[in-house]
Structure 1
């Protein structure tokens, strides 16, 4: 992760989820309970020392496994820091999410500890207040930021960097780009893309993500040997530079990647993850209903299906900004002013 002046990072010991959605220590060979205690102490010490005006907690109000509870209590007792819960547009199907939140008593945590809930989305796509049946007092804390226009990131890219297409040894042609998020469960889509037929005068680039198993990545790299129009890379520092250059994009349905693609108004085929959560499928289907993307269910995924989609002739792309709110970058500062009682 790159940073700039005034910004730094404190990394919590990390967790990973297995195929059934259960958490385990990602790197440290310690019991889960010890890792959770270490996460709580690390977060608590950092917040006590830094004493922020605002803390934004991502996705889970009490932490992945309630390890934030002592931190939340401490912050409330000190009374200095305003707390915001940040949520993606879609978390999971309503019945599943409502059950999880009820068992974790998450709405009680929002009532007790949080000053605001920011949804990084637009209710025209998905309305968590309605879909997840937030109680009226919790719903009253919700503000929709809109989506963040990722084109702005190009203004802050590293100066003098080599053109990403030229760096791959390509001097021309159209670009078909395949993105599989972190890559930990992207093997099926990646392999189908590498086996798909590319249209004439088209190069195919797969970004595997840093978490794809090494054995799968090695197999994909071997598969493109001797194919000058195909490349496999594991990671790029600024993926928006590739997204901007792409002519067609095949991707999984994660929040960040999907809205990067829509920021640049690119023709996109989403092949969403459907297990253990249906978040990606719901997001993809809602955006498809708005006429912004095409969707292929993973059960229908094949090299032939991707070949057919890639071979389609050019078609006008409906700009996402005509249908959904992409003003998040200007709205978040306004929400901070509201939270802190600052008048512009």
Structure 2
């Protein structure tokens, strides 16, 4: 495969994007960090997210949108916009992925979370690029799931030691104190051979605000369920707390419901919020970083990206992690509370008639909660710098000397 010109590198990032915004936002963060650190890098993101066009991208970062597939809450998949069979959609996606990679001719391929992609759609591309000498990277979250559930899931998807050996690097986007994300799998030792614990991905404020945020209260509690597809219960608990004791709570609430929240649920929340004087409900803000940085505290579920943002902006946080269909959020949040970085309400404790009162008490306690940096959480936000350093070493081995971006 032809090499890129001297001092220039091309990176292809694959993100399957079937549920929420997490994969896209993580890949976008990595892409932006690379072009921020070095001149002469071009990054192309392959994504199935219907909302990718609503995000701002830096110069030298672009995307190709592949037909969307939705992952339902029960784990099944269905085509998003095309009224065709799922297998046809997957065939189109696989073809676009392969041909884009073949035309773009990247120096590095980064695959987010799914080693073979959705339903194996990256398998042919991975094998082809690996054989052509492209440096292949599998990027994993700090936590995937419990060993038992992950083993069952990866066996079903056909992910084996041989598959992982097609990756030159495995980047774990978290610190080693979070544990081996493949613990309990028969090939967990691959992490020791090819793994790099990067630390959490530090988030920066966008330089320019693209959305008017002047209508928000001067001080407020941010409530964010991420994409919103699985955040209905959390939003309901928060609104119930304000319905029960609005005047007693420390700050007004700004709820960002998320673009994937069911319209019926969102409308029901809007009707309830209209009766409250200190609660604002919005659907989507692409620059959530500004809203989070200016908040007094945050209520969230504990997904990877929101978690990184909370640490990056040194925010007090109350997490209410989901426990279905996987325990990823619960495992991450439990560790964070043990480290003193945040507090948690177990959703299993919010099922009775006293759930609103428990929520009220948890919100009242937030002003006195220590911020994560007081417990050294900032020392684990090295992901962006670590990836940049590793990327430079990869390029040097390929005979490409990148020029640092000193601006």
- TM-score normalised over the length of structure 2: 0.77
Aligned to 1:288: 337
CA distance in 1, matches of 2:340, 2:288: 24
CA RMSD between the two structures: 2.1
State yes or no: 1:276 paired with 2:325. Answer: yes
Q: State the partner residue of 2:272.
A: 223
Which ranges of 4 or more aligned residues in structure 1 deviate by more than 6 Å?
Answer: none
Name which of 320, 328, 339 aligns with 2:394.
Answer: 339
Write the distance in 2 (CA, Å) between the matches of 1:329 and 1:213: 34
Residue matched to 1:309: 362
Which residues in structure 2 correspond to 1:1-344 (within 5 Å)?
A: 1-77=55-131, 79-103=132-156, 104-111=158-165, 113-137=166-190, 139-150=192-203, 153-154=204-205, 156-158=206-208, 162=212, 164=213, 166-168=214-216, 170=217, 172=218, 174-196=219-241, 197-198=245-246, 199=248, 202-301=251-350, 302-312=355-365, 313-319=367-373, 322-323=376-377, 325-340=380-395, 341=397
DSSP 3-state at the match of 1:167: coil
TM-fit CA distance, 1:4 = 2.3
Which residue of structure 1 lines up, in the alignment, with residue 44 of structure 2?
Answer: none
Deviation sequence 1:211-267 (CA, Å, 0-9, x none): 001111111112121533210001112111111121121111111011211222222
Specify whether residues 335 and 105 from structure 1 end up closer, same or farther in structure 2 by C-alpha distance, changes over 3 A only. Answer: same
Report the Cα distance in structure 2 between the residues aligned to 1:160 and 1:188, rounded to whole angstroms.
30
Contact 1:269-1:294 at 8 Å conserved across structures: yes
Distance 2:388 2:277 in 1: 46
**Count of residues paired in the alignment:** 334
Secondary structure class of the residue paired with 1:38: helix
CA contact (8 A) 1:157 1:238 kept: no
Change (3 A) 1:261 1:131: farther
Q: Does the 8 A contact of 2:71 with 2:77 survive in 1?
A: yes
The SS at the match of 2:119 is coil
Q: Tell me what 2:14 maps to.
A: none
Report Cα offsets for 1:46-75 as digits up to 9, x if no partner.
111111111100101111211112212222
Query: CA separation in 2, counterparts of 1:160 and 1:63?
Result: 33
Alpha carbons of 1:51 and 1:229: their partners in 2 closer, same or farther (altered >3 Å)?
same
C-alpha separation in 1, matches of 2:236 and 2:79: 29
Contact 1:149 1:327 (C-alpha < 8 Å) held by counterparts: yes
| Structure 2 runs not aligned, ≥5 long | 1-54, 403-407
Residues of 2 paired with 1:139 and 1:241: CA distance? 37
Unaligned ranges ≥5, structure 1: none
Is contact 2:339–2:375 with CA below 8 Å preserved after alignment?
no
**Aligned 8 A contact 1:178 1:190 in 2:** yes
Distance 1:42 1:275 in 2: 32
Q: Secondary structure at the match of 2:176?
A: coil
Query: Take 2:250 and 2:74, find their aligned partners in 1: how far apart are those partners?
Result: 42
Deviation at 1:126, TM superposition (A): 2.7
Contact 2:224 2:256 in 1 (8 A): yes
Q: What is the TM-score when the length of structure 1 is the normalising length? A: 0.90
Distance 1:292 1:131, change over 3 A: farther
Structure 2 contact 115–159 (Cα < 8 Å) conserved = no
Check conservation: 1:125, 1:287, Cα contact below 8 A: no
